Amino acid sequence: MSADATAGVHVVQRGEGAPLVLVHGVGASGEIWRPVMGALARDRRVSAADLPGFGASPPAGPGFALDAVADRLCEGLAAAGVSAPFDLVGHSLGGAVALTLAQRRPSAVGRLVLVAPAGLSPRPAAVAGALGALASVTVPLRRELGRPLAGLPLARRLLLAGTAHDGGRLSEAEARALMEASRPATRLREGFAAAVAAALRELLADLPTPVGFVWGERDLLVPVSGLEAVHAARPEAPARTLLDTGHVPMLERPHVFTAALVDVLDRLPPATGDAGAPR
């Protein structure tokens, strides 16, 4: 496994083959993909990036503008040696960034898979700002409370309620890693507000890139009912719903998530060029 921090984006890479890029959600980092990277990297070159303002990546400007973040991410991936077109997977806020990147750099993205993406049910700016401010308090509080309590399954269920369907299913180490992932974030408030306010449904409908979806059936943060909007905008898009799974399927049920992701990718037409050839 190798790491690169060129062009202001921290990228961890593993495996060889056609490129697959993984983009995390708000309050996390590329580390959230660690449970699935090994399986995905058996025949792919997998790159997990820290979004600007999260993990080890510095912010792209004073706030969290999706256009600026998407451009910085694309430039950072290119600097890290990720060849285009690459398959792109975005989770939650990372889904909104991935969708924006595909719209702004269509030649860079061969196939797009959105995992419980933000941007399909926008809230007013005032509401988004208030929720962002709330997250900037509650996420660090959960992290501090979780440090001494993460060893207890009941505590994990309570601390991760809303994020995981059953936090007790995560190991103590996994729960700690999930909560600690927010520690280096410098754009938690702004990123959360951007996720809540993003209005990307029209962009999704017009996007020429083949797109598919993976969603946890018990997701409380980005409810699976959002698939109704997805199917209205992209009736041809393949989608997999994961039973008894919340907002972080790559942590809750990594083997099930990996199989679903590969299935959705296989049902999408391949990108042109060698980099996007079928596996």
Cβ contact 139:27 at 8 Å: yes
Cross-strand partners of 41 = none
- Tell me which of 3-17, 140-154, 170-184 is least confident: 3-17
Global confidence as pTM: 0.92
Cross-strand partners of 21 = 47, 88
pLDDT digits (tens, 9 = 90+) for 10-33: 999 999 999 999 999 998 999 999
Split at pLDDT 50, 70, 90, the class of 46 is: very high
Tell me the longest C-alpha to C-alpha distance in the chain. Answer: 50
d(CA 267, CA 211): 10
More confident residue, 122 or 5: 122
Dihedral over alpha carbons 248, 177, 79, 84 (to 10 degrees) = -20
d(CA 255, CA 25): 19
Which pLDDT does position 229 carry in this prediction? 85
Residue whose pair of structure tokens reads 């990277």 in the numeric block: 37
CATH topology of domain 2-121+198-276: Rossmann fold (3.40.50)
pLDDT digits (tens, 9 = 90+) for 208-247: 999 999 999 999 999 999 898 888 889 999 999 999 999 9
d(CA 233, CA 39): 31
